[in-house]
Amino acid sequence: MHKNLRWKILAIVVTTGVAVWAFMPPSEKIKLGLDLKGGVHLVYKVETDEAIKVETETTAEQFNEALKGAGVTVASVRPTGLTEFLVEGVPPANDQQFRQTADQQVSLSFDRDSGPSGGSYVFRMKPNIERNRRTEAVTQAIQTIDRRVNELGVSEPTIAPYGTTGNQIVVQLPGVSDVARAKSLIRSTSQLEIKLVEAGPVSDQQTLLQPYNGQVPPDMEVVPGVSGVAGDTTRLFYLVRRVSAITGRDLRNARPTIDELNLPAVSFTLNSEGVSKFSRVTGENVGRQLAIILDGLVQSAPVIESRISQPEARITGSFTTQEVTDLSLILRSGALPASLTLEEQREVGPSLGADSVRAGVTASLVGLLLVTLFMLVYYKLAGINAFVSIGLNLIILLGFMAYLGAVMTLPGIAGFILTIGMGVDSNVLIFERIREELATNKGARQAVNAGFNRVFITIVDTHVSSLIAAAFLFQFGTGPIRGFATTLFFGLIANVFTAVFVSRTLFEVILSRRPAGSAQQLSI
C-alpha cells in the first residue's frame, strides 16, 4: 500500500513536470490565434472559371495554328462557352486530316463531337481535365500568394485551401500592420506583356482603325496606354499584336531601380528562354516599337534600335517608389492563374488582441481564486485537494496545447474557465459523496474509497457526453471556435486524471499518515 502510494505520487510529479516542460516558456510555446495576437484573416475565392476559360481559348488558338500548319483551312475556330469551342467549315475533303490533327493536338483534354451543322465540330473539355485545371489554379494561386507574402516579411503566415467548395483560400497574416497594402499585393493580377506595336500611339481608337475599315484585325488588339507624364490621366491608344513577344513567364527576376531621369522604375531579368525569344523578336523588328504592357495598360513603347541579346531590361513610366517596390514583388512572384474575390476579412488590431489576453488571464485567475476560496470555506482542508487538482488540470491542459501546437484563441480562454468549472464539478461530486458516506458512519478510509468508486461512473458519463459535444464543435467549427473546442477537449481529459487520480492520491496521503482506526476525522 505504502509503496503503491509512492509510485502514484511519482506518476503525478512526472506528469506535472512533463507538462510544465512542454509549455515553458509560455510566450514561445503557446501559439496565439489572430484574435489575441492581432493580424488579419482573409478568405478568397479563386475565380477558377477564368482559368478554365483561358485554357479553352488557348487550346482553340493553338489548334487553329496546328490546322494551318497541317494545311487544313477552316472557316473559324472560336470558343462558344467556358469549356467548349466550335470549329466551323471543315472542308469534306480534308475531314480525315482534320480528325487526325484534332486527335494529335487536343484529344488528351477535349472530347470531339459533331457540331450543329455539316462540317462543324464541337470540342468539350473532359470533366476530369476541368477538375484538374481548377485544382491546379487554386494550388498555383496558393503558391503565388505564398511567395508574395513571404517577400512582404510576415512571420508565420498561413496560406491554405479553405472550406469544402474547393475554390477558397484562407490567408492569415499575424501582426501585419498595413492591411490595405498586404491585400492589394495578394490580389494583384498584374501581368507583364511585351507586344509588337502595329500602329499608334494616337489619342482615339477611330484613327487607329481607319486603315482596317474600323475593324480590329483578328490577330491584333487595341490597348490603352499612359501618356508618360506624371499626373496626366489621359489615355493613348495602341494597336498591337495579340500574341505576346514576352510574358511574365519569361522573367527570372524583377527589382526596383531608377531610370536616367532618376525616376522610379522596375528592372527585370529574363530567363534563358526569354532571352532567346527577345533576341529573335528584336532582331526581326529593328526600327519598330515594342509596347511594355502592365495590367492591360501600355507603360511605354520604346523603339527597337538593334537586336537585344542581354537579359536585362527596364520598365519606365510614371511610378512612385512604393509602386515600383510592389510591382517588382508581384512580377517576381509570378502571376495569379485567376483573379481573387474577397469573401471574408477579419482584422484585429494588436492593441485589442493584447487587451483581450490581459482581460482573459485576469478573469481566469480571479475565477480560480474565487472558486478556491469557496471550496476552502465549504470543504475546509479538502478544498486544498480541489485547488491542487484544478491547478494541475490547467497545467496539464497548457502542456497539451503546447505539445500539440494547438492555437490559443479568445474563446479558448473561455475554455480554460470552463475547465475550472468542470474541475470543480468533479471535485464537488466526489466530496459530496464522501460526506454522504461519512454520514452513514463509515470510517474515513471506506468513505473515501466508496466516494471515489461510486462517482467514477458518473464522471465518465458526464465527461464522455461533453467530449462528444467538444468533438463536434471542433469538427464543424472554424478558427476561434476550434481553439475553444481544443481547450475544452483536453481540459476534460486532464480533468479525469486530476479529479479522480490526483485528488484520490492526496486523500490517501492524508489518511496514510494516521494510525489505522483513529481515522474517523476527515476535514471535509
Partner 1 sequence: MRFIKEPNFNFIKWRWHAIVLSLVIIGAGIATIVARGGLPLGVDFSGGTLVLFEFAQPTPEDAVRNALRNLSGDVVVQQYGQGNSQIMVRVPLPAGAESGATLEEQANLIETAVRTGNLGEVKVISRDLVGPVIGEDLKQKGIWATLTALGGILLYIGFRFRFSFAVGAIAATMHDLLVTVVMLTWFGYDLSLNTIAALLTITGYSVNDTIVVFDRVRENQRLMRKESLETIVNKSVNQTLARTIITAGTTFLAVVALFLLGGEVLRGLSFTLLVGIVTGTYSTVFIAAAIAIILSKRSAPPVTQAQARAKRA
Residues 381-410 that bind partner 1 (CB under 8 A): 410
> Using CA atoms, how far apart are residues 250 and 236, in angstroms rounded to an integer?
27
- Under rule CB under 8 A, which residues in 45-74 are in contact with partner 1? 45
Tell which one of 70, 221, 462, 511 touches partner 1 (CB under 8 A): 462
Vertex 59 angle, CA 55 and 61, to 5°? 120
Neighbours of 290 (CB within 10 A): 23
CB of 121 closer than 8 Å to CB of 92: no
Q: Find the part of the chain contacting partner 1 (CB under 8 A) among 15-23, 109-117, 324-332, 355-363.
A: 355-363
Give the SS3 label for residue 110. strand
Region binding partner 1 by CB under 8 A among candidate stretches 92-100, 270-278, 320-328, 345-353: 345-353
What cell numbers appear for 286 in the block? 529593328
The region of 101-109, 250-258, 375-383, 444-452 touching partner 1 under the rule CB under 8 A is: 375-383
163 lies in the site for partner 1, by CB under 8 A: yes
CB 408 within 8 A of CB 479: no
Which residues are bridge partners to 383 per DSSP? none
Q: Is 348 in the site for partner 1 (CB under 8 A)?
A: yes
What is the nearest approach in angstroms of partner 1 to the Cβ of residue 338?
14
Interface positions, 323-342, toward partner 1 (CB under 8 A):
341-342
Q: How far is the CB of 53 from partner 1 (least distance, A)?
A: 18
Q: Does 465 bind partner 1 (CB under 8 A)?
A: yes
When asked if residue 232 is in the footprint of partner 1 (CB under 8 A), the reply is no
Nearer to partner 1, 323 or 347 (CB): 347
Nearest to partner 1 of 75, 359 (CB atom): 359
Q: How far, in Å, CA of 397 to CA of 393, rounded?
A: 6
| Residue span binding partner 1 (CB under 8 A) among the ranges 75-83, 250-258, 299-307, 358-366 | 358-366
Is the distance from CB of 16 to CB of 396 less than 8 angstroms?
yes
Report, in Å, the least distance between residue 335 CB and partner 1.
Answer: 20
Q: Side by side, which strands form the sheet with 121-125?
A: 76-79, 84-88, 121-125, 110-114
245: burial class by Cβ within 10 Å (0-12, 13-18, 19+)?
buried
Minimum CB distance to partner 1, residue 436 (Å): 7
CB 101 within 8 A of CB 73: no
Q: With respect to partner 1, which residue has the nearer C-beta, 86 or 340?
A: 340
> Given candidates 224, 269, 436, 446, which one binds partner 1 under the rule CB under 8 A?
436
Q: Does 137 bind partner 1 (CB under 8 A)?
A: no
Site string for partner 1, 472-501 (x = CB under 8 A): xx-xxxxxxx--xx--x-------------
| Contacting range for partner 1; rule: CB under 8 A; set: 234-242, 265-273, 318-326, 456-464 | 456-464
| Closest alpha carbon to 245 in 221, 280, 210, 215 | 280
Is 342:170 a contact under the CB 8 Å cutoff?
A: no
Q: 447, 458, 474: which is closest to 422 by C-alpha?
A: 458
State which of residues 359, 381, 404, 509 lies at the interface with partner 1 (CB under 8 A). 359
Nearer to partner 1, 265 or 392 (CB): 392
Nearer to partner 1, 20 or 481 (CB): 481
Of the residues 345, 453, 512, 523, which one makes contact with partner 1 according to CB under 8 A? 345
Strand ranges, E, within 301-350: 312-315, 340-348
Question: What whole-number distance in Å separates Cα of residue 318 and Cα of residue 231?
Answer: 8
470 binds partner 1, rule: CB under 8 A: yes
What is the C-alpha to C-alpha distance for residues 78 and 85, in angstroms, rounded to an integer? Answer: 5
**Residue 175 interacting with partner 1 (CB under 8 A):** no
Contacts of 279 (CB under 8 A, 6+ apart): 307, 308, 309
Instruction: Confirm or reject binding of residue 160 to partner 1 (CB under 8 A).
Output: no
Consecutive H or E run containing 45: strand 39-46
C-beta separation of 90 from 121 below 8 A: yes
Residues 6+ apart with CB under 8 A from 349: 38
Report, in Å, the least distance between residue 431 CB and partner 1: 9
CB of 493 to partner 1, least distance (A): 14
Distance of CA 228 to the CA centre of its chain: 38
Q: Using the rule CB under 8 A, which residue among 58, 458, 520, 523 binds partner 1? A: 458
Among 466, 493, 497, 511, binds partner 1 (CB under 8 A): 466
Cβ proximity to partner 1: between 257 and 364 the closer is 364
User: Kindly report the CA angle at 397 between 395 and 401, in degrees rounded to 5?
Assistant: 115
Our finding on whether 322 is near partner 1 (CB under 8 A) is: no
User: Among 86-94, 97-105, 396-404, 453-461, which window interacts with partner 1 (CB under 8 A)?
Assistant: 453-461
Among 352, 381, 404, 509, binds partner 1 (CB under 8 A): 352
Between 8 and 454, name the residue whose CB sits nearer to partner 1.
454
Contacts of 148 (CB under 8 A, 6+ apart): 185, 186, 329, 330, 333
Instruction: Say if strands 110-114 and 121-125 run parallel, antiparallel, or are unpaired.
Output: antiparallel
- 344 lies in the site for partner 1, by CB under 8 A: yes
Q: Which is nearer to partner 1, 143 or 364 (CB)?
A: 364
Whole-angstrom CA distances from 497 to 12, 126, 388, 457, 494 are 9, 57, 12, 14, 5
> With respect to partner 1, which residue has the nearer C-beta, 334 or 477?
477
178 binds partner 1 (CB under 8 A): no
Question: Which CB, 289 or 486, lies closer to partner 1?
Answer: 486
